A = this chain, B = another copy of it.
């Protein structure tokens, strides 16, 4: 299986290369990103593969061996070239479906202490340290929820010097909305608007009139944003307007999906911002370029300021956690 995995290798050559300090793995359900990281956080090498945890048969008799062979393909040449390096992983690799259950930290969670709760697993290639996830405990009125991998991105995104409230949006199929105070995560929730968009744009009555296209239609998206923001509670009704406006000829077939995307994001953003305690909180959006543009646009329309996210937040977060845990010496220690 390992032999067939797609590996995309990207080596960044530097004039005066930093010495590698850490191998960081962002090991999710369907992908594995590996980073060779220098002391200052410079990414000296990066490999992206599709060998997430689903690449290992859950019925395997050699779980550790299978995961170890995948890691060997991804990072073996770095280990050979640079000698033993600490290896730190975040994401679903630390779930019950991964190599070992790495536990959760309850909310409110201090991200500066995540490094104190790593789980270590011995593999043929060396010891694999795994970051815990975060969990929101159920109450009578709020559902439980967990994240795994996002805690590391968050730590990489948040400026350690700042102590003010921040809202972080990690858009995707299941978009995460996270409330932070400095480096403390106080709340998070999951929105399914990405998955809903996928279902509606491919399998619903709305998809019959739509003509999918890679072009972005800003006017249609903007129109949808305003309809969704206007009455977010009516979203299960207002999405039908994608059909009736199209039948009326006011929405063209290639505009329908952007109208629908705008409507769902407009309703989601309005609903979430209305429950955010501090409306002056900085909002950080961290996702693909396309989704980041859509959410940023929706936020600006509501008068909210956004801050660009660190595009390699996971790598930065992994280095910060490695320093917290002592896997990598902090600047003070290394100078001592």
Contact = CB atoms under 8 A, between A and B. Distances in A.
Interface stretch (A236-244, A277-285, A310-318): A236-244
Contact of A236 (B143, B191, B231): B191
A144 interface: yes
Given A143-B245, A199-B204, A245-B144, A190 B268 contact: no
B195 A233 contact: no
Question: Chain A interface residue count: which class?
Answer: 35 or more
Nearest to A137: B248
A236 B250 contact: no
Interface in A125-164: 138, 141, 143-146
Contacts of A270: 233
A174 interface: yes
Interface in A268-322: 268, 270-272, 274-275
> In the assembly, how many copies of this chain are there?
2
Interface string A222-264: 0000000011111111111100110110100000000000001
B235 A235 contact: yes
A330 to B, nearest CB: 37
A191 to B, nearest CB: 4
A186 interface: no
A236 B192 contact: yes
A241 B143 contact: yes
B205 A240 contact: no
A193 interface: yes
Contacts of A192: 204-205, 236-237, 239-240
Contacts of A146: 244
B236 A233 contact: no
A196 interface: yes
Interface in A171-215: 174, 177, 189-193, 195-196, 199-200, 203-205
Contact of A244 (B144, B196, B231, B245): B144
A89 interface: no
Given A138-B245, A234-B272, A236-B264, 19 more contacts: A138-B250, A143-B238, A143-B240, A144-B244, A144-B247, A190-B244, A192-B205, A195-B205, A199-B204, A203-B203, A233-B235, A233-B267, A233-B274, A234-B271, A235-B235, A236-B267, A236-B271, A237-B271, A237-B272
Closest CB pairs A-B (n = 7): A143-B241, A232-B233, A233-B271, A233-B233, A191-B237, A199-B199, A190-B240
28 contacts: A138-B245, A138-B250, A141-B230, A143-B244, A144-B244, A146-B244, A174-B205, A174-B240, A189-B237, A191-B237, A191-B240, A192-B236, A192-B237, A192-B239, A192-B240, A193-B236, A195-B204, A195-B205, A196-B196, A196-B236, A199-B203, A199-B204, A231-B271, A232-B233, A233-B233, A233-B267, A234-B275, A236-B271
